[in-house]
Amino acid sequence: MSSKKAFTLLCFLVAAVLILSLFVGIELGILLVFSGFLAVSTAEALRRTNVISNESKRLNLKVVHIVAGVLLGFLSLEEEKIGLGVVFTSLIIYIAYLYFSDNVTKEETPYISLFEELGLGQKTASNVILGLVSIALTYLLFENPISSTSILAFALGDGIGGLFGRLYGKTRLPYNKNKTVEGTALELITLTILFLIATKSPFKSLLVAILLTSYETLPLPISDNLFYSLIAGILQLLIFQ
């Protein structure tokens, strides 16, 4: 590893630890950052062996969406500050990544090529940032378990439905050609099960799932990532409380 690359990596890690420690304390901050670093390093190793293919960036992005969202949701079930800290840290690091990707080569800065091949490159920057902002607002506006359940809904409902639709979807929705009947149906089922586990209320769970899935299928001029978890929180607050 070159000295420039090592220094850049160190800056990433120190900045992440400092930001996260404001929310969860220095010891847990260090643990979470280096756990994340280990996960990214593993993904980078997989990329080098071509397990992560360049041809499936959009699918890779959905997988990252699901895995990261589920981990975040479960991490914050006991303590919202952990989730909020991780989100703010991720947002700062991602913005730093976008800066570095414009100013240095992939060889000089760690993980730029990994970010690109996972579908997290500049073409999807607005969606990634909007998703992180939405999650941060969800933590700020709602208390547990609503906030964590909303994040899990964003990860599992939107993520699994989107991934299944891309892989197996055949029938396009008449009012939104970017969505499929198959993906939408699985999203509805996934959300219903999630809310049923969280609330033990079958009818209300189905109602919230239908409304949230309906929102996600709308042909909006802006990415639904910005409002998904927020709407999930509002619906839970109105229907379950």
Tell me the per-residue pLDDT of 125-163, one tens digit each, with 9 for 90 and over. Answer: 777 788 888 888 999 899 999 999 999 999 999 889 988
Task: Determine the pLDDT at residue 95.
Answer: 72
Q: Are 179 and 172 in contact (CB under 8 A)?
A: yes
Whether 136 and 154 map to the same domain: the answer is no
Task: Determine the pLDDT at residue 187.
Answer: 95
Whether 106 and 30 map to the same domain: the answer is yes
Q: What is the pLDDT of residues 190-200, one digit of tens each?
A: 999 999 999 99
Whether 116 and 167 map to the same domain: the answer is no
Rounded (to 5) percent helix, strand, coil in the chain: 80, 5, 20
Whether 8 and 123 map to the same domain: the answer is yes
Q: Which of the two residues, 221 and 44, has the higher pLDDT score?
A: 221
Q: What is the pLDDT of residues 187-233, one digit of tens each?
A: 999 999 999 999 999 999 999 999 999 999 998 887 777 889 999 99
pLDDT-wise least confident of 22-36, 38-52, 62-76, 166-180? 38-52
pLDDT-wise least confident of 87-101, 116-130, 175-189? 116-130
Average pLDDT value for residue range 43-64: 60
Whether 17 and 111 map to the same domain: the answer is yes
Average pLDDT value for residue range 169-175: 91
Q: Are 86 and 20 in contact (CB under 8 A)?
A: yes
- The domain boundary residue, chosen from 80, 108, 141: 141
Whether 15 and 37 map to the same domain: the answer is yes
Whether 122 and 218 map to the same domain: the answer is no
Task: Determine the pLDDT at residue 55.
Answer: 47
Whether 8 and 96 map to the same domain: the answer is yes
- The domain boundary residue, chosen from 111, 141, 171: 141
Whether 132 and 149 map to the same domain: the answer is no
Whether 108 and 6 map to the same domain: the answer is yes
Q: Are 212 and 157 in contact (CB under 8 A)?
A: yes
Report residue 88's pLDDT band, with 50, 70 and 90 as the boundaries: confident
**Which of 17-26, 47-56, 196-205 reaches the highest mean pLDDT?**
196-205
Question: What does pLDDT average to over the chain?
Answer: 79
Whether 72 and 136 map to the same domain: the answer is yes
Would you call 44 helix, strand, or coil by DSSP? Answer: helix
Q: Are 64 and 159 in contact (CB under 8 A)?
A: no
Q: How would DSSP label each residue in 153-214?
A: HIIIIIHHHHHHHHHH--SEETTEEEEEHHHHHHHHHHHHHHHHHHH--HHHHHHHHHHHHH
pTM equals: 0.78
Report residue 185's pLDDT band, with 50, 70 and 90 as the boundaries: very high
Q: Which residue type, as a one-letter code, is found at position 210?
A: I
Q: Which of the two residues, 209 and 177, has the higher pLDDT score?
A: 209
Q: Domain count of the chain?
A: 2
- The domain boundary residue, chosen from 141, 174, 197: 141
Report residue 241's pLDDT band, with 50, 70 and 90 as the boundaries: confident
Residue range(s) defining the domain that contains residue 147: 143-241
Whether 102 and 2 map to the same domain: the answer is yes
